[in-house]
Structure 1
Amino acid sequence: MEPAQIIMLGIIAAGYLTAISAELIAGRIQHSQRPRRDMLFNLAAILTQPILTSVVVASAGAWLARSLFPTGADRLIELPFWPGFLAIFLLNEFCHYWVHRAAHEWRWMWKLHRTHHSGMDMNASLIYRYNLFWPMIVPQTWVGAIVMYFGLYQEFLAAAAITYLVNVGTHLSFRWDLQLRQRFPATEPAWRIIEKIITLPDTHQAHHAWGSKQAHPNGNYAVTLFFYDVLFGTAKWPRARQENFGLPISPRLHWAEELLWPIVRKPLLAKQILPEGGTPKPAAPNATAN
């Protein structure tokens, strides 16, 4: 592995560790509604992701690339950095938008994606709260395996690092975007432009919210480049704090199905289980169902 690649991987790790440390110091994670359940999902994801993505998906992607382009190995290694980086970044974000949108529109994909949305609090740990099979359909690993086969290692890692850090930033419980807008009102015209291009906590947390006019669970799909939502008509800008996160059925979901669907299938629990240390929130008719 080259020094530049090690540096980019270090930036990714440092970004997450900084964010999760800030959340822990502020008590945002341990004082959340279901900290033990969320920690279980996080540990399961962190322990299994290297196998599912680095081995299974990456190997399958590399095999697919070799099969389709048998003479393409390292063919683009001499390509200048910026054209390769921009092409990968735009392609990956475009693919993610449509896979993410399909996960909200197609029932079988929603079952895989639902675990990420059943978390009842926003914080950095939410990015690792997902069904264990979800990483197998996320476009980034497939795109990465193919473009690295062509020799675009640094370009892909740079694109992946930006996507990852933005993803961490939009899941934080600290609403840094609103704080900056309120503290420096003269910058509002610039924010009105930025929010149409880049995904901010305001738009992504609306995607995780339900039960209020600020919620937009079936839209705001872009992970980094929000202009795809603008382009395809799924954008909404609340410009306010969201109230309820998760799903109305979150307390009734069985942990095993959330982690292992479709291998494990469980009916909704008959009675609503209270969040750890909290009280259940009322259901809302406009939230994504089961």
Structure 2
Amino acid sequence: MELVKEIFQHLNGWGLTAILFIVGILEFSFGLYKKWKLNDKLVDLASILFGKLLMPVLVSYFALQLLPKVAPEYKEIFNWVPFWWGFFIICIADDLTQYWYHRLHHEIPWLWKFHRTHHSAPYMGMAMASRQGFFYTLLFPQTYVTTTLVFLGLGVPALIARGVKGLITMMAHSSIKWDKPFYDNKWLHPIAWVMERTISTPATHHAHHAAHDRDGIGHYNGNYGNMFFLWDVIFGTAKITRQYPEEYGLEEYQDDSWYSQVLYPLVKSDKPGSELAE
């Protein structure tokens, strides 16, 4: 219990990474990476390394060098805001920004090329939770919105909000269907009804990663929410079935080389007919 307490106390630091590895090991133990080819391993690994190693350096530069030079007079101008109001502001600003960034990458063809890497994995799990193209991650607007709000004085609320969001997002990508008991037990249905319309769960987010929509479950052009599924409910992109797709990864988007999936358009694909070869 002490270890669990320590993990959640440091959720936005090493705690989130610890949860990622613990759940990942459980998934691997249950044989949930049977379709994990070498090419997919390299895509996942490259994405994780970029997200965990390079992005913090870039964000630190933005926070510690650029903002103080551009707007020094606004540093900690919002430090009077109470914690819970700050938490609310961070959650809305960060997650709503990501919802629209994510949605636009599905709806605008040339932007889709930068995001499709996330939909090429034929499996769900911790390994692919951070699977993204270099430029998609680099230009995450919510990262810079939240960093700016931290600079303006909402540092503590941001620390907690980012930790909670990271946990929800990772567990929505997990192959462990932790939400299933809420659907299988009638006495939990009222909780399930609220939960699945508020935050992302495996059922709703797995549908977003389905290989197709022929089964009536897949909904890859919808269910865009990361922390809050509420945005999908509000903006009409939600599909709730309480079921899970049998196949993952858009069928026509697999087998591009790992380096083209991560580094497009700096590196093009050598797969004939691929969008990433253009």
TM bucket (normalised to shorter chain) is 0.7 to 0.9
Task: State the shift of 1:270 in Å.
Answer: 6.6
Contact preservation (8 Å) 1:124, 1:168 = yes
Partner of 2:125: 123
TM-superposition CA deviations, 1:225-256 (whole Å, max 9, x none): 11111111100002112122101113342322
Instruction: Establish whether residue 227 from structure 1 lines up as the match of residue 230 from structure 2.
Output: yes
Q: What SS class does the counterpart of residue 109 from structure 1 fall into?
A: helix
In structure 2, do the counterparts of structure 1 residues 221 and 63 end up closer, same or farther at CA, with 3 Å as the change threshold? farther
CA distance in 2, matches of 1:34, 1:48: 20
User: 1:163 Cα deviation (Å)?
Assistant: 1.0
- Which segment drifts farther, 187-196 or 240-249? 187-196
Equivalent positions of 1:27-176 (< 5 A) are 27-29=31-33, 31=34, 33-60=35-62, 65-66=67-68, 69-176=71-178
Q: Which moved more, 1:51-60 or 1:83-92?
A: 51-60
Distance in 2 between the 1:19 and 1:241 partners? 19
Partner of 1:22: 26
* Structure-2-length-normalised TM-score: 0.87
Identity, % of aligned pairs? 31
TM-score (norm: length of structure 1): 0.83
Q: Does 1:268 align with 2:244?
A: no
Secondary structure at the counterpart of residue 14 of structure 1: helix
Stretch of structure 1 that moved more, 127-136 or 60-69 = 60-69
Is 1:28–1:173's contact at 8 Å kept on the other side of the alignment?
Answer: yes
Give the Å deviation of 1:76: 2.2
Bigger share in helix: 2
C-alpha spacing 1:63/1:169, structure 2 compared with 1 (3 Å): same
Asked whether the 8 Å contact 2:207–2:217 carries over to 1, the reply is yes
Q: What 5-or-longer segments of structure 1 have no aligned partner? A: 272-289
- The CA distance in 1 between the partners of 2:78 and 2:97, in whole Å, is 21
Tell me the equivalent position of 1:239. Answer: 242
SS at match of 2:112: helix
Of 42-51 and 143-152, more deviation after overlay is shown by 42-51
Alignment of 1:197-208 (within 5 A): 197-208=198-209
Give the aligned residue type for 1:10.
W
Q: How many residues align?
A: 266
Give the corresponding residue for 2:251: 248
Q: CA deviation at 1:97?
A: 0.5
Cα distance change, pair 134–205 in 1 and its aligned pair in 2 (3 A): same
Name the SS of the counterpart of 2:216 in structure 1.
Answer: coil
- Residue in 2 aligned with 1:12? 16
